[in-house]
Amino acid sequence: MIEQDWLYGFLGGVLIGLAASMFLLINGRTMGASGIIGGLVDKSGWHNYLERISFIAGLIFIPAVISFTYNFPKTNITSNIYLIIIAGLLVGIGTTLAQGCTSGHGICGISRISVRGIVATIFYIISGAAIVFALNNFMEIL
């Protein structure tokens, strides 16, 4: 069962890599989710807003069709609204400062052997692991 998850993970990963390849080879753009969204929020990407909106539309539409057809995905997100708000703010602030997230720094950066992408990835993984460790071990205290 667990091994099947790994296989699906790898297959899904290849599709993500193909999506990023397509965006790079055809559109000439780095596929970074935070950058594509961020450019629409802070005006820095308004000169190519239609390309950004098209990408986001695909990112919303295809999973919507699949989830309505097969009814399988669940996000299992926490029900704690305060955690969600804090996490959302941290993700928005952090990815804007670092100018990248898991797709931009992680996938596109590492595959390019970009030191910047690798450094960013190491820091957000260590930070995320520390938070998960804290949640698992000290949550009773909070």
CA distance 8 to 12: 6
Number of residues in contact with another protein, rule: CB under 8 A? 107
The distance of closest approach from Cβ of residue 70 to another protein in the complex, given in angstroms and rounded to an integer, is 9
- Over the window 60 to 99, marking each residue x when it contacts another protein by CB under 8 A and - when it does not, the resulting string is xxxxx-xxx----xxxxxxx-x-xxxxxxxxxxxxxxxxx
- Over the window 18 to 37, marking each residue x when it contacts another protein by CB under 8 A and - when it does not, the resulting string is xxxxxxxxxxxxxx-xx--x
The distance of closest approach from Cβ of residue 3 to another protein in the complex, given in angstroms and rounded to an integer, is 10
Q: Does residue number 49 form part of the binding site for another protein (CB under 8 A)?
A: no
Identify which of residues 76 and 141 has a Cβ nearer to another protein in the complex. 76
Kindly list the distances between the CA atom of residue 141 and the CA atoms of 29, 35, 77, 128, 138, in Å, as whole numbers in the listed order: 45, 36, 21, 19, 6
Contacts of 28 (CB under 8 A, 6+ apart): none
**What is residue 69's three-state secondary structure?**
helix
Q: How many other β-carbons are positioned within 10 Å of the β-carbon of residue 138? A: 9
Q: Does residue number 46 form part of the binding site for another protein (CB under 8 A)?
A: no
Q: Does residue number 142 form part of the binding site for another protein (CB under 8 A)?
A: no
Spatial contact of 105 and 116, defined as CB atoms under 8 Å apart: yes
The distance of closest approach from Cβ of residue 46 to another protein in the complex, given in angstroms and rounded to an integer, is 12
